[in-house]
Protein backbone atom coordinates (compact mmCIF):
# COMPACT_ATOMS: atom_id res chain seq x y z
CA UNK A 1 0.00 0.00 0.00
CA UNK A 2 1.17 3.49 -0.81
CA UNK A 3 2.42 5.36 2.27
CA UNK A 4 2.67 9.12 1.94
CA UNK A 5 4.85 10.93 4.45
CA UNK A 6 3.97 14.59 5.10
CA UNK A 7 0.86 14.16 2.99
CA UNK A 8 -0.67 17.23 1.33
CA UNK A 9 -4.07 15.94 2.44
CA UNK A 10 -3.29 17.37 5.90
CA UNK A 11 -2.56 20.79 4.50
CA UNK A 12 -5.23 23.49 4.52
CA UNK A 13 -2.88 25.55 2.37
CA UNK A 14 -2.75 22.84 -0.30
CA UNK A 15 -6.54 22.95 -0.56
CA UNK A 16 -6.55 26.75 -0.73
CA UNK A 17 -3.75 27.22 -3.24
CA UNK A 18 -2.89 23.84 -4.77
CA UNK A 19 -4.78 21.29 -6.87
CA UNK A 20 -6.26 18.67 -4.55
CA UNK A 21 -8.53 17.38 -7.35
CA UNK A 22 -5.55 16.24 -9.43
CA UNK A 23 -3.77 14.78 -6.44
CA UNK A 24 -6.84 12.76 -5.49
CA UNK A 25 -7.33 11.67 -9.13
CA UNK A 26 -3.80 10.29 -9.10
CA UNK A 27 -4.46 8.41 -5.86
CA UNK A 28 -7.69 7.05 -7.33
CA UNK A 29 -5.81 5.67 -10.34
CA UNK A 30 -2.63 4.45 -8.67
CA UNK A 31 -3.43 3.85 -5.01
CA UNK A 32 -7.17 3.94 -4.28
CA UNK A 33 -6.52 3.01 -0.65
CA UNK A 34 -3.46 4.75 0.79
CA UNK A 35 -1.92 5.68 4.13
CA UNK A 36 -1.02 9.26 5.00
CA UNK A 37 1.41 10.18 7.77
CA UNK A 38 2.43 13.35 9.47
CA UNK A 39 5.66 14.10 11.31
CA UNK A 40 3.91 14.06 14.71
CA UNK A 41 2.84 10.44 14.16
CA UNK A 42 -0.80 11.11 13.26
CA UNK A 43 -1.86 8.91 10.37
CA UNK A 44 -4.99 8.07 8.42
CA UNK A 45 -6.04 5.87 5.56
CA UNK A 46 -7.61 7.61 2.57
CA UNK A 47 -10.39 6.06 0.47
CA UNK A 48 -10.79 7.69 -2.93
CA UNK A 49 -13.03 5.39 -5.03
CA UNK A 50 -16.80 5.88 -5.05
CA UNK A 51 -17.46 2.19 -4.29
CA UNK A 52 -14.99 2.14 -1.38
CA UNK A 53 -16.26 5.41 0.08
CA UNK A 54 -19.83 4.13 -0.17
CA UNK A 55 -18.91 0.79 1.43
CA UNK A 56 -17.22 2.63 4.29
CA UNK A 57 -20.21 4.89 4.91
CA UNK A 58 -22.56 1.95 5.08
CA UNK A 59 -20.40 -0.13 7.43
CA UNK A 60 -21.10 1.96 10.52
CA UNK A 61 -20.54 -0.93 12.92
CA UNK A 62 -16.87 -1.33 11.98
CA UNK A 63 -16.22 2.33 11.23
CA UNK A 64 -17.14 4.46 14.21
CA UNK A 65 -18.07 8.14 14.06
CA UNK A 66 -17.54 8.64 17.79
CA UNK A 67 -13.89 9.67 17.54
CA UNK A 68 -14.47 12.83 15.55
CA UNK A 69 -15.28 13.30 11.88
CA UNK A 70 -12.47 15.76 11.05
CA UNK A 71 -8.75 15.07 11.12
CA UNK A 72 -7.63 16.95 14.24
CA UNK A 73 -11.22 18.15 14.57
CA UNK A 74 -11.76 16.87 18.04
CA UNK A 75 -10.39 18.80 20.98
CA UNK A 76 -8.51 15.63 21.82
CA UNK A 77 -7.66 12.97 19.21
CA UNK A 78 -9.88 10.41 20.95
CA UNK A 79 -13.50 10.12 22.01
CA UNK A 80 -14.54 13.41 23.51
CA UNK A 81 -17.38 14.42 25.76
CA UNK A 82 -19.78 14.95 22.85
CA UNK A 83 -19.25 11.38 21.59
CA UNK A 84 -22.49 9.46 21.68
CA UNK A 85 -24.41 12.63 22.52
CA UNK A 86 -24.17 14.66 19.30
CA UNK A 87 -25.47 13.22 16.03
CA UNK A 88 -22.34 13.62 13.95
CA UNK A 89 -20.18 11.81 16.54
CA UNK A 90 -22.67 9.17 17.73
CA UNK A 91 -22.83 5.47 16.86
CA UNK A 92 -25.78 3.15 17.35
CA UNK A 93 -27.92 2.90 19.40
CA UNK A 94 -27.52 6.50 20.59
CA UNK A 95 -27.50 7.85 17.04
CA UNK A 96 -30.99 6.61 16.20
CA UNK A 97 -32.39 7.88 19.49
CA UNK A 98 -31.15 11.41 18.78
CA UNK A 99 -31.85 11.41 15.07
CA UNK A 100 -35.53 10.57 15.45
CA UNK A 101 -36.64 13.74 17.28
CA UNK A 102 -34.27 16.02 15.35
CA UNK A 103 -35.63 14.69 12.07
CA UNK A 104 -39.25 14.75 13.23
CA UNK A 105 -38.96 18.26 14.65
CA UNK A 106 -36.76 19.88 12.07
CA UNK A 107 -36.89 18.04 8.80
CA UNK A 108 -40.49 16.94 8.32
CA UNK A 109 -42.58 17.90 5.28
CA UNK A 110 -44.25 20.91 6.88
CA UNK A 111 -40.92 22.32 8.02
CA UNK A 112 -39.41 21.75 4.58
CA UNK A 113 -42.24 23.73 2.98
CA UNK A 114 -41.80 26.60 5.44
CA UNK A 115 -38.03 26.54 4.97
CA UNK A 116 -38.45 26.63 1.19
CA UNK A 117 -40.65 29.74 1.34
CA UNK A 118 -38.33 31.55 3.73
CA UNK A 119 -35.20 30.69 1.77
CA UNK A 120 -36.78 31.87 -1.48
CA UNK A 121 -37.86 35.14 0.13
CA UNK A 122 -34.34 35.75 1.47
CA UNK A 123 -32.66 34.95 -1.83
CA UNK A 124 -35.08 37.27 -3.69
CA UNK A 125 -34.43 40.06 -1.20
CA UNK A 126 -30.67 39.64 -1.63
CA UNK A 127 -30.89 39.58 -5.45
CA UNK A 128 -33.39 42.45 -5.66
CA UNK A 129 -30.99 44.63 -3.71
CA UNK A 130 -28.44 44.45 -6.52
CA UNK A 131 -28.37 46.68 -9.57
CA UNK A 132 -26.51 46.29 -12.86
CA UNK A 133 -23.00 47.64 -12.38
CA UNK A 134 -22.78 46.79 -8.66
CA UNK A 135 -19.57 45.10 -7.56
CA UNK A 136 -19.90 42.98 -4.44
CA UNK A 137 -18.28 40.11 -2.60
CA UNK A 138 -20.87 37.42 -3.34
CA UNK A 139 -19.63 35.19 -0.51
CA UNK A 140 -20.60 37.84 2.02
CA UNK A 141 -23.50 39.69 0.39
CA UNK A 142 -25.60 36.90 -1.12
CA UNK A 143 -24.33 33.45 -0.06
CA UNK A 144 -25.46 33.71 3.61
CA UNK A 145 -29.05 34.15 2.37
CA UNK A 146 -29.19 30.40 1.72
CA UNK A 147 -28.91 29.04 5.28
CA UNK A 148 -30.42 32.09 6.96
CA UNK A 149 -34.01 31.07 6.22
CA UNK A 150 -33.31 27.57 7.49
CA UNK A 151 -32.12 28.96 10.82
CA UNK A 152 -35.12 31.27 11.03
CA UNK A 153 -37.52 28.36 10.68
CA UNK A 154 -35.73 25.60 12.63
CA UNK A 155 -34.81 27.86 15.54
CA UNK A 156 -37.86 30.14 15.35
CA UNK A 157 -35.75 33.31 15.27
CA UNK A 158 -35.71 36.53 13.25
CA UNK A 159 -33.30 37.43 10.48
CA UNK A 160 -31.10 39.53 12.79
CA UNK A 161 -30.53 36.70 15.27
CA UNK A 162 -30.01 34.29 12.39
CA UNK A 163 -27.34 36.62 11.04
CA UNK A 164 -25.52 36.73 14.39
CA UNK A 165 -25.67 32.95 14.66
CA UNK A 166 -24.19 32.66 11.17
CA UNK A 167 -21.26 34.87 12.09
CA UNK A 168 -20.49 32.76 15.16
CA UNK A 169 -20.61 29.39 13.43
CA UNK A 170 -18.47 30.83 10.64
CA UNK A 171 -15.81 31.68 13.20
CA UNK A 172 -16.02 28.16 14.65
CA UNK A 173 -15.44 26.34 11.38
CA UNK A 174 -13.17 28.87 9.71
CA UNK A 175 -11.12 29.67 12.80
CA UNK A 176 -7.91 28.76 11.02
CA UNK A 177 -8.68 31.22 8.24
CA UNK A 178 -7.58 34.80 8.82
CA UNK A 179 -10.46 35.99 6.62
CA UNK A 180 -12.92 35.00 9.33
CA UNK A 181 -11.01 35.67 12.55
CA UNK A 182 -8.26 38.02 13.50
CA UNK A 183 -5.74 37.55 16.30
CA UNK A 184 -5.79 34.44 18.41
CA UNK A 185 -7.73 31.85 16.47
CA UNK A 186 -8.34 29.26 19.17
CA UNK A 187 -9.68 31.96 21.52
CA UNK A 188 -12.12 33.03 18.83
CA UNK A 189 -13.20 29.44 18.31
CA UNK A 190 -14.05 28.74 21.95
CA UNK A 191 -15.69 32.12 22.52
CA UNK A 192 -17.86 31.70 19.44
CA UNK A 193 -18.81 28.16 20.41
CA UNK A 194 -19.87 29.20 23.91
CA UNK A 195 -21.91 32.08 22.54
CA UNK A 196 -23.78 29.76 20.20
CA UNK A 197 -24.44 27.34 23.07
CA UNK A 198 -25.62 30.22 25.28
CA UNK A 199 -27.97 31.40 22.56
CA UNK A 200 -29.43 27.92 21.98
CA UNK A 201 -29.88 27.45 25.70
CA UNK A 202 -31.86 30.71 25.90
CA UNK A 203 -34.09 29.52 23.06
CA UNK A 204 -34.66 26.19 24.81
CA UNK A 205 -35.63 27.96 28.03
CA UNK A 206 -38.04 30.23 26.12
CA UNK A 207 -39.71 27.22 24.51
CA UNK A 208 -39.93 25.31 27.78
CA UNK A 209 -41.65 28.37 29.29
CA UNK A 210 -44.06 28.81 26.37
CA UNK A 211 -44.64 25.11 25.66
CA UNK A 212 -44.26 25.75 21.92
CA UNK A 213 -43.04 22.74 19.95
CA UNK A 214 -43.69 23.93 16.41
CA UNK A 215 -40.06 24.06 15.33
CA UNK A 216 -36.93 21.97 15.87
CA UNK A 217 -35.74 23.82 18.93
CA UNK A 218 -39.24 23.70 20.42
CA UNK A 219 -39.41 19.96 19.85
CA UNK A 220 -36.05 19.47 21.61
CA UNK A 221 -37.13 21.80 24.43
CA UNK A 222 -40.29 19.80 25.11
CA UNK A 223 -38.20 16.61 25.25
CA UNK A 224 -35.96 18.30 27.80
CA UNK A 225 -39.03 19.44 29.77
CA UNK A 226 -40.48 15.92 29.84
CA UNK A 227 -37.15 14.37 30.80
CA UNK A 228 -36.92 12.33 27.59
CA UNK A 229 -33.73 14.15 26.51
CA UNK A 230 -31.00 15.70 28.61
CA UNK A 231 -30.40 19.41 28.30
CA UNK A 232 -26.81 18.74 27.20
CA UNK A 233 -27.93 16.50 24.35
CA UNK A 234 -30.45 19.11 23.19
CA UNK A 235 -27.76 21.81 23.26
CA UNK A 236 -25.14 19.75 21.46
CA UNK A 237 -27.52 18.81 18.67
CA UNK A 238 -28.84 22.34 18.29
CA UNK A 239 -25.20 23.30 17.79
CA UNK A 240 -24.65 20.42 15.38
CA UNK A 241 -27.57 21.47 13.17
CA UNK A 242 -26.59 25.15 13.23
CA UNK A 243 -23.00 24.48 12.23
CA UNK A 244 -23.87 21.80 9.69
CA UNK A 245 -26.42 24.05 8.05
CA UNK A 246 -24.53 27.32 8.10
CA UNK A 247 -21.06 26.39 6.99
CA UNK A 248 -21.88 24.41 3.90
CA UNK A 249 -24.48 25.81 1.50
CA UNK A 250 -23.04 29.37 1.33
CA UNK A 251 -19.85 27.82 -0.02
CA UNK A 252 -21.86 25.72 -2.45
CA UNK A 253 -23.66 28.87 -3.63
CA UNK A 254 -20.37 30.69 -4.23
CA UNK A 255 -19.04 27.77 -6.23
CA UNK A 256 -22.30 27.59 -8.21
CA UNK A 257 -21.66 31.19 -9.26
CA UNK A 258 -18.08 30.54 -10.39
CA UNK A 259 -19.23 27.40 -12.22
CA UNK A 260 -21.97 29.29 -14.07
CA UNK A 261 -19.46 31.97 -15.03
CA UNK A 262 -17.14 29.31 -16.44
CA UNK A 263 -19.89 27.26 -18.11
CA UNK A 264 -22.11 29.91 -19.67
CA UNK A 265 -23.30 27.79 -22.58
CA UNK A 266 -24.47 25.05 -20.27
CA UNK A 267 -26.14 27.55 -17.93
CA UNK A 268 -28.19 28.81 -20.85
CA UNK A 269 -29.95 25.43 -20.82
CA UNK A 270 -31.21 26.09 -17.32
CA UNK A 271 -32.24 29.67 -18.14
CA UNK A 272 -34.14 28.47 -21.22
CA UNK A 273 -35.86 25.71 -19.25
CA UNK A 274 -34.32 22.89 -21.31
CA UNK A 275 -32.55 21.58 -18.20
CA UNK A 276 -34.52 21.26 -14.97
CA UNK A 277 -33.21 23.09 -11.92
CA UNK A 278 -33.43 19.79 -10.01
CA UNK A 279 -31.16 18.01 -12.49
CA UNK A 280 -28.72 20.92 -12.57
CA UNK A 281 -28.67 21.02 -8.75
CA UNK A 282 -27.49 17.41 -8.55
CA UNK A 283 -24.58 18.23 -10.85
CA UNK A 284 -23.74 21.37 -8.89
CA UNK A 285 -23.65 19.21 -5.73
CA UNK A 286 -21.35 16.67 -7.41
CA UNK A 287 -19.14 19.33 -8.92
CA UNK A 288 -18.70 21.45 -5.78
CA UNK A 289 -18.53 18.62 -3.18
CA UNK A 290 -18.46 21.22 -0.42
CA UNK A 291 -17.68 18.75 2.37
CA UNK A 292 -14.52 17.19 0.99
CA UNK A 293 -14.16 14.20 3.34
CA UNK A 294 -15.23 12.73 6.66
CA UNK A 295 -13.19 10.69 9.11
CA UNK A 296 -14.05 7.43 10.86
CA UNK A 297 -12.14 5.14 13.24
CA UNK A 298 -12.05 1.42 12.55
CA UNK A 299 -13.15 -0.50 15.63
CA UNK A 300 -12.50 -3.81 13.82
CA UNK A 301 -10.36 -4.83 10.85
CA UNK A 302 -12.00 -3.36 7.77
CA UNK A 303 -11.49 -4.81 4.31
CA UNK A 304 -11.87 -2.35 1.48
CA UNK A 305 -10.57 -2.09 -2.08
CA UNK A 306 -8.57 -5.30 -1.69
CA UNK A 307 -6.73 -3.99 1.39
CA UNK A 308 -7.23 -4.61 5.09
CA UNK A 309 -7.30 -1.57 7.32
CA UNK A 310 -6.39 -2.70 10.82
CA UNK A 311 -8.54 -2.08 13.86
CA UNK A 312 -7.81 1.24 15.56
CA UNK A 313 -7.03 3.23 12.40
CA UNK A 314 -8.36 6.57 11.29
CA UNK A 315 -10.03 6.26 7.88
CA UNK A 316 -10.95 9.22 5.67
CA UNK A 317 -13.76 8.98 3.12
CA UNK A 318 -13.10 11.44 0.28
CA UNK A 319 -16.45 12.60 -1.08
CA UNK A 320 -14.80 15.01 -3.50
CA UNK A 321 -12.79 12.18 -5.02
CA UNK A 322 -15.69 9.73 -5.16
CA UNK A 323 -17.65 12.42 -7.00
CA UNK A 324 -15.06 12.40 -9.80
CA UNK A 325 -14.68 8.63 -10.04
CA UNK A 326 -14.30 7.59 -13.67
CA UNK A 327 -15.90 4.19 -12.91
CA UNK A 328 -19.15 5.90 -11.90
CA UNK A 329 -19.33 9.11 -13.91
CA UNK A 330 -18.81 9.61 -17.62
CA UNK A 331 -16.56 12.59 -18.32
CA UNK A 332 -16.00 12.89 -14.54
CA UNK A 333 -13.81 15.98 -14.81
CA UNK A 334 -16.35 17.94 -16.78
CA UNK A 335 -19.32 19.84 -15.46
CA UNK A 336 -22.33 18.37 -17.27
CA UNK A 337 -25.37 20.39 -16.28
CA UNK A 338 -27.91 17.83 -17.54
CA UNK A 339 -26.09 14.74 -16.23
CA UNK A 340 -28.53 11.82 -15.96
CA UNK A 341 -28.70 9.26 -13.17
CA UNK A 342 -26.31 11.34 -11.07
CA UNK A 343 -24.86 9.20 -8.27
CA UNK A 344 -23.20 12.12 -6.46
CA UNK A 345 -22.29 11.31 -2.87
CA UNK A 346 -21.81 14.86 -1.57
CA UNK A 347 -23.97 14.17 1.49
CA UNK A 348 -22.48 10.78 2.33
CA UNK A 349 -24.56 7.60 2.50
CA UNK A 350 -26.25 5.30 4.96
CA UNK A 351 -27.18 6.08 8.53
CA UNK A 352 -24.93 9.14 8.80
CA UNK A 353 -26.00 10.67 5.49
CA UNK A 354 -26.38 14.41 6.15
CA UNK A 355 -29.66 14.89 8.03
CA UNK A 356 -29.99 18.27 6.34
CA UNK A 357 -29.50 16.93 2.81
CA UNK A 358 -33.12 17.59 1.75
CA UNK A 359 -32.88 21.13 3.11
CA UNK A 360 -29.49 21.81 1.55
CA UNK A 361 -30.69 20.48 -1.81
CA UNK A 362 -33.77 22.68 -1.53
CA UNK A 363 -31.60 25.74 -0.78
CA UNK A 364 -29.32 25.14 -3.75
CA UNK A 365 -32.20 24.35 -6.10
CA UNK A 366 -34.09 27.46 -4.98
CA UNK A 367 -30.98 29.51 -5.59
CA UNK A 368 -30.56 27.98 -9.06
CA UNK A 369 -34.22 28.68 -9.88
CA UNK A 370 -34.05 32.28 -8.71
CA UNK A 371 -30.81 32.89 -10.62
CA UNK A 372 -32.33 31.43 -13.78
CA UNK A 373 -35.39 33.68 -13.43
CA UNK A 374 -33.38 36.81 -12.60
CA UNK A 375 -32.97 39.43 -15.29
CA UNK A 376 -29.44 40.05 -14.03
CA UNK A 377 -26.44 37.76 -13.55
CA UNK A 378 -23.11 37.58 -11.74
CA UNK A 379 -19.85 37.91 -13.61
CA UNK A 380 -16.72 36.93 -11.71
CA UNK A 381 -14.31 39.87 -11.90
CA UNK A 382 -11.35 38.70 -9.80
CA UNK A 383 -9.79 35.35 -8.90
CA UNK A 384 -11.82 34.03 -5.93
CA UNK A 385 -10.09 33.35 -2.62
CA UNK A 386 -10.42 29.78 -1.43
CA UNK A 387 -11.01 28.83 2.21
CA UNK A 388 -7.98 27.53 4.11
CA UNK A 389 -9.47 24.15 4.93
CA UNK A 390 -9.07 20.58 3.76
CA UNK A 391 -12.55 19.80 5.14
CA UNK A 392 -14.75 22.44 3.49
CA UNK A 393 -14.24 23.49 -0.11
CA UNK A 394 -15.43 27.05 -0.20
CA UNK A 395 -14.63 30.63 -1.03
CA UNK A 396 -13.92 33.39 1.49
CA UNK A 397 -14.04 36.04 -1.20
CA UNK A 398 -15.81 36.12 -4.54
CA UNK A 399 -15.80 39.50 -6.26
CA UNK A 400 -18.58 39.71 -8.82
CA UNK A 401 -20.15 42.38 -10.97
CA UNK A 402 -23.87 42.41 -11.54
CA UNK A 403 -24.56 42.41 -15.27
CA UNK A 404 -27.66 42.06 -17.42
CA UNK A 405 -28.60 38.40 -17.77
CA UNK A 406 -28.28 38.74 -21.54
CA UNK A 407 -24.67 39.82 -21.17
CA UNK A 408 -23.83 36.45 -19.62
CA UNK A 409 -25.89 34.16 -21.84
CA UNK A 410 -26.26 36.06 -25.08
CA UNK B 1 -13.65 41.02 36.85
CA UNK B 2 -11.08 40.99 39.61
CA UNK B 3 -13.89 39.92 41.99
CA UNK B 4 -13.53 36.38 40.70
CA UNK B 5 -11.33 34.26 42.96
CA UNK B 6 -9.59 30.91 42.61
CA UNK B 7 -12.01 29.52 45.18
CA UNK B 8 -14.97 30.52 43.02
CA UNK B 9 -13.54 28.63 40.05
CA UNK B 10 -12.91 25.57 42.27
CA UNK B 11 -16.47 25.82 43.61
CA UNK B 12 -18.05 26.09 40.20
CA UNK B 13 -16.05 23.15 38.84
CA UNK B 14 -17.27 21.11 41.83
CA UNK B 15 -20.83 22.21 41.17
CA UNK B 16 -21.00 21.68 37.40
CA UNK B 17 -18.57 18.79 36.86
CA UNK B 18 -18.74 17.17 40.31
CA UNK B 19 -14.95 17.18 40.46
CA UNK B 20 -12.77 18.27 43.36
CA UNK B 21 -9.85 20.23 42.00
CA UNK B 22 -7.18 22.36 43.60
CA UNK B 23 -5.84 25.71 42.45
CA UNK B 24 -3.24 24.14 40.20
CA UNK B 25 -5.26 21.27 38.69
CA UNK B 26 -5.80 21.29 34.92
CA UNK B 27 -9.60 21.33 34.92
CA UNK B 28 -9.81 19.88 31.40
CA UNK B 29 -7.69 16.88 32.35
CA UNK B 30 -10.04 16.57 35.33
CA UNK B 31 -12.99 16.15 32.97
CA UNK B 32 -14.34 19.63 32.32
CA UNK B 33 -15.67 20.13 28.77
CA UNK B 34 -17.26 22.96 26.78
CA UNK B 35 -20.68 22.36 28.30
CA UNK B 36 -19.22 22.42 31.82
CA UNK B 37 -17.50 25.70 30.96
CA UNK B 38 -20.87 27.01 29.79
CA UNK B 39 -22.46 26.11 33.15
CA UNK B 40 -19.48 27.43 35.09
CA UNK B 41 -19.69 30.72 33.28
CA UNK B 42 -23.40 31.00 34.09
CA UNK B 43 -22.68 30.34 37.79
CA UNK B 44 -19.92 32.96 37.91
CA UNK B 45 -22.28 35.43 36.31
CA UNK B 46 -24.91 34.64 38.95
CA UNK B 47 -22.38 35.10 41.75
CA UNK B 48 -20.57 38.19 40.49
CA UNK B 49 -22.60 39.63 37.62
CA UNK B 50 -19.58 39.22 35.35
CA UNK B 51 -19.67 37.14 32.16
CA UNK B 52 -16.21 35.63 31.72
CA UNK B 53 -15.23 34.97 28.08
CA UNK B 54 -14.82 31.28 27.31
CA UNK B 55 -11.23 31.51 26.13
CA UNK B 56 -9.88 32.35 29.61
CA UNK B 57 -10.93 28.88 30.78
CA UNK B 58 -9.18 27.17 27.90
CA UNK B 59 -6.20 29.49 28.10
CA UNK B 60 -5.85 29.42 31.89
CA UNK B 61 -6.55 25.70 32.32
CA UNK B 62 -6.15 25.71 36.14
CA UNK B 63 -8.29 27.72 38.59
CA UNK B 64 -5.23 29.86 39.41
CA UNK B 65 -4.32 30.25 35.75
CA UNK B 66 -7.88 31.26 34.89
CA UNK B 67 -7.94 33.93 37.61
CA UNK B 68 -4.55 35.20 36.40
CA UNK B 69 -5.86 35.50 32.86
CA UNK B 70 -8.98 37.33 34.01
CA UNK B 71 -6.66 39.77 35.81
CA UNK B 72 -4.43 40.14 32.75
CA UNK B 73 -7.45 40.75 30.50
CA UNK B 74 -8.56 43.41 32.95
CA UNK B 75 -5.17 45.10 33.22
CA UNK B 76 -4.94 45.30 29.45
CA UNK B 77 -8.12 47.34 29.20
- With CA atoms as reference, the chain A residue closest to B53 would be A191
Q: What pLDDT sits at residue A309?
A: 97
Cis peptide before B60 (omega within 30 of 0): no
Query: In Å, how far is B54's CA from the nearest CA of chain A?
Result: 5
- The answer to whether A232 contacts B35, with C-beta atoms less than 8 Å apart, is yes
Residue A302 has pLDDT above 80, yes or no: yes
The tens-digit pLDDT sequence of chain B (77 residues) is 458 999 999 999 999 988 899 999 999 888 888 899 999 999 999 999 988 988 999 899 999 999 999 887 665 44
Q: What is the pLDDT of residues B20-41, one digit of tens each?
A: 999 999 998 888 888 999 999 9
Domains of chain A: 2-409 (1.10.630.10)
Q: What pLDDT sits at residue A76?
A: 47
**Which of A189, A194, A196, A197 has the most B C-beta neighbours within 10 Å, making it the best mutation to test the interface with B?**
A194
3-state DSSP call for residue B72? helix
Q: What pLDDT sits at residue B2?
A: 58
Query: In Å, how far is B26's CA from the nearest CA of chain A?
Result: 15
Q: What is the pLDDT of residues A70-108, one digit of tens each?
A: 887 654 446 777 888 889 889 999 999 999 989 988 899
In 10 A of CB A105, how many CB atoms? 21
**What is the rounded distance in angstroms from the CA atom of residue A91 to the CA atom of residue A184?**
34
Q: Please give, one letter per residue, the 3-state secondary structure of chain A.
A: CEEEECCHHHCHHHHHHCCHHHHHHHHHHHCCEEEEECCCCCEEEEECCHHHHHHHHHCCCCEECCCCCCCCCCCCCCCCCCCCCCHHHCCCCHHHHHHHHHHHHHCCHHHHHHHHHHHHHHHHHHHHCCCCCCEEEHHHHCCCHHHHHHHHHHHCCCHHHHHHHHHHHHHHHCCCCCCCCCCCHHHHHHHHHHHHHHHHHHHHHHHHHHCCCCCHHHHHHHHHHHCCCCHHHHHHHHHHHHHHHHCCHHHHHHHHHHHHHHCHHHHHHHHHCCCCHHHHHHHHHHHHCCECEEEEEECCCEEECCEEECCCCEEEEEHHHHCCCCCCCCCCCCCCCCCCCCCCCCCCCHHHCCCCHHHHHHHHHHHHHHHHHCCEEEEECCCCEECCCCCECCEEECEEEEEEHHHHCC
**What is the rounded distance in angstroms from the CA atom of residue A393 to the CA atom of residue A249?**
11
What Rg, from alpha-carbon coordinates, does chain B have?
11
Query: In Å, how far is A194's CA from the nearest CA of chain B?
Result: 6
Segment A374-392 mean pLDDT: 95
Q: What pLDDT sits at residue A318?
A: 98
Residue A320 has pLDDT above 90, yes or no: yes
- The answer to whether A197 contacts B38, with C-beta atoms less than 8 Å apart, is yes
A178: pLDDT confidence band, cut at 50, 70 and 90?
low
**What is the rounded distance in angstroms from the CA atom of residue A217 to the CA atom of residue A86?**
15
Q: What pLDDT sits at residue A7?
A: 94
Going by C-alpha positions, the residue among A203, A266, A245, A217 that lies closest to residue A88 is: A245
- With CA atoms as reference, the chain A residue closest to B41 would be A194
Pairing of strands A33-37, A2-5: parallel
DSSP E strand stretches across chain B: none
A176: pLDDT confidence band, cut at 50, 70 and 90?
low
Say if residues A318 and A48 touch (Cβ distance below 8 Å): yes
Residue A343 has pLDDT above 90, yes or no: yes
Pairing of strands A293-298, A314-318: antiparallel
**What is the rounded distance in angstroms from the CA atom of residue A246 to the CA atom of residue A147?**
5
- The answer to whether B55 contacts A235, with C-beta atoms less than 8 Å apart, is no
**What is the rounded distance in angstroms from the CA atom of residue A121 to the CA atom of residue A378?**
19
**Which of A74, A172, A190 has the most B C-beta neighbours within 10 Å, making it the best mutation to test the interface with B?**
A190
The half-sphere exposure of B63 on its side-chain side, counting CA atoms within 13 A, is 21
Mean pLDDT estimate for chain A: 93
Which residues of chain B have a CB within 8 Å of the CB of A184? 55
Q: What is the pLDDT of residues A55-65, one digit of tens each?
A: 999 999 999 99
In order of A27, A66, A221, A329, the CA distances from A49 in angstroms are 9, 23, 41, 12
- The answer to whether A81 contacts B35, with C-beta atoms less than 8 Å apart, is yes
Residue A355 has pLDDT above 70, yes or no: yes
**What is the rounded distance in angstroms from the CA atom of residue A402 to the CA atom of residue A376?**
7
Pairing of strands A395-397, A385-386: antiparallel
- Distance, C-alpha A361 to centroid of its chain: 11
- The answer to whether A187 contacts B55, with C-beta atoms less than 8 Å apart, is yes
Query: In Å, how far is A201's CA from the nearest CA of chain B?
Result: 10
Phi, psi of A324 (to 5 degrees): -120, 20
- The answer to whether B35 contacts A191, with C-beta atoms less than 8 Å apart, is no
Q: What is the pLDDT of residues A108-129, one digit of tens each?
A: 999 999 999 999 999 999 999 9
**What is the rounded distance in angstroms from the CA atom of residue B69 to the CA atom of residue A227?**
38
- With CA atoms as reference, the chain B residue closest to A192 would be B54
Q: Taking the CA atoms of A368, A372, A374 and A378 in sequence, report the sign of the dihedral they define.
A: positive
| Contacts for A118 with CB less than 8 Å, ≥ 6 apart | A149, A150, A152, A153
Say if residues A377 and A405 touch (Cβ distance below 8 Å): yes
- The answer to whether B54 contacts A236, with C-beta atoms less than 8 Å apart, is no
**What is the rounded distance in angstroms from the CA atom of residue A291 to the CA atom of residue A347?**
8
Is B54 within 8 Å of chain A by CB?
yes
**What is the rounded distance in angstroms from the CA atom of residue A300 to the CA atom of residue A306?**
16
- Checking ipTM against 0.90, whether it exceeds it is no
- The answer to whether A191 contacts B33, with C-beta atoms less than 8 Å apart, is no
Segment A230-238 mean pLDDT: 93
- The answer to whether A191 contacts B53, with C-beta atoms less than 8 Å apart, is yes
- The answer to whether A190 contacts B35, with C-beta atoms less than 8 Å apart, is no
Amino acid sequence: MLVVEDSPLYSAEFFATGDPWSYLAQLRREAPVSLHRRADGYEFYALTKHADVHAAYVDHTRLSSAYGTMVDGSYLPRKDSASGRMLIVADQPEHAAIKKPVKAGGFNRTMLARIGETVRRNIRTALDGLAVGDRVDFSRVVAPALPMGVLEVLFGIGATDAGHLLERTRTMIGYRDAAYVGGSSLDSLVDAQLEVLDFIEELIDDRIASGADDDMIGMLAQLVASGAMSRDVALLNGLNVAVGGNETTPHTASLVVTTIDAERDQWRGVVDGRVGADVATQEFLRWTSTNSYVQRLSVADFEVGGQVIPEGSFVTLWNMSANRDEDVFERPDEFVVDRRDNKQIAFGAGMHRCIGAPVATLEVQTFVEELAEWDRAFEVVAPPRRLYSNFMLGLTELQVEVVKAKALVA
Amino acid sequence: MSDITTKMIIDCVREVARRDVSGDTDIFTAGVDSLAVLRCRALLKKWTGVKVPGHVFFGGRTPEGIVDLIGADNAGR
